[in-house]
Amino acid sequence: MKILKKLTSAVSAAVLTATAALSLFPQIANAENPVIQTSFTPDPAPMIYNDTLYMYTGLDREGDNDFYYMTGYQCFSTTDMKNWTNHGCFMNDTDFSWAKKDSAWASQCIERNGKFYFYFTTENASGGGRAIGVGVSDSPTGPFEDVLGKPLCGPNWDYIDPTVMIDDDGQAWLMFGNPKCYYVKLKEDMITLDGQIQNFDMTVESFGPSSGTRTCSYGEGPWIYKRNDLYYLVYAGFYGSDGGESMGYSTAPSITGPWTYRGQIMKTHNCFTTHGGVIDYKDRSYFFYHKTGLPGGGSFNRSAAIEEFQYNSDGTIPLLTMTDEGPEQIESFNPYIRTEAETGSWFSGVKVESAGNGSQAVSFIEDGDYVKVSGVDFGSGAETFTASVASPENGGKIELRLDGINGKLIGTCNVPVTGGWSTWEESTCDVSGAEGTHDLYLKFTGGSSYLFNFDWWQFGSSSYIEPTPEDPSILFHDTFESGSNSWTGRGGASASSKAGTSYEGNKALVVTDRKAGWQGATKKLPTSKIKAGETYSFSVDVTYDGSPETRDFKLTLEYTNADGDVVWDEIASGTTSPGLWLQLENTNYKIPNGATGLSLIVETTDDTTTDFVIDEAYGAVAGTEIDGPGQPAVRKVSQGDVDCDGVISSLDTAMARKVAAGKLTDSVCIKAADVDKNGTVDNDDVKQINDFVMGRITEFTIAVPEKTPYTYNANLQYHEAPA
CA neighbours within 13 Å on the CB side: how many for 600?
A: 28
How many of the other CB atoms lie within 10 Å of CB of 35?
Answer: 25
- The 3-state secondary structure of 403-434 reads CCCCCEEEEEEEECCCCCCCCCEEEEEECCCC
Q: What distance in Å separates the CA atoms of residue 129 and residue 141, rounded to the nearest whole number? A: 28
Residues designated as active site: 43, 220
Look at phi and psi of residue 125 and say left if phi exceeds 0, alpha if psi is from -120 to 50, else beta: alpha
Asked if residue 392 has a cis previous peptide bond (ω within 30° of 0), the answer is: no
DSSP secondary structure letter of residue 61: P
Radius of gyration of the chain (CA): 31
| Phi, psi dihedrals of residue 477, rounded to the nearest 5° | -145, 110
CA neighbours within 13 Å on the CB side: how many for 430?
A: 2
Q: What distance in Å separates the CA atoms of residue 278 and residue 140, rounded to the nearest whole number? A: 19
CA neighbours within 13 Å on the CB side: how many for 567?
A: 17
Cβ–Cβ < 8 Å for 429, 311: no
Cβ–Cβ < 8 Å for 158, 219: no
Name the H helices within 515-607. Answer: none
Q: Which of helix, strand or coil describes residue 653?
A: helix
For residue 49, the cross-strand partners are 52
| C-alpha closest to that of 511 among 630, 604, 573, 597 | 604
| Max CA pair span of the chain | 107
For residue 218, the cross-strand partners are 237
- The 3-state secondary structure of 364-385 reads CCCCCCEEEEEEEECCCCCCEE
Q: What distance in Å separates the CA atoms of residue 165 and residue 367, rounded to the nearest whole number? A: 46
Cβ–Cβ < 8 Å for 37, 364: no
| C-alpha closest to that of 304 among 322, 328, 316 | 322
For residue 75, the cross-strand partners are 56
How many of the other CB atoms lie within 10 Å of CB of 77?
Answer: 19
**What one-letter code names the amino acid at 276?**
G
| Phi, psi dihedrals of residue 687, rounded to the nearest 5° | -65, -45
Cβ–Cβ < 8 Å for 163, 232: no
| Enclosing H/E stretch for 650 | helix 650-660
Long-range contacts of 559-562 (CB under 8 A, 24+ apart): 559/532, 559/591, 559/592, 559/595, 559/596, 559/597, 559/598, 559/599, 560/228, 560/595, 560/596, 560/597, 561/592, 561/594, 561/595, 562/594
**What one-letter code names the amino acid at 7?**
L
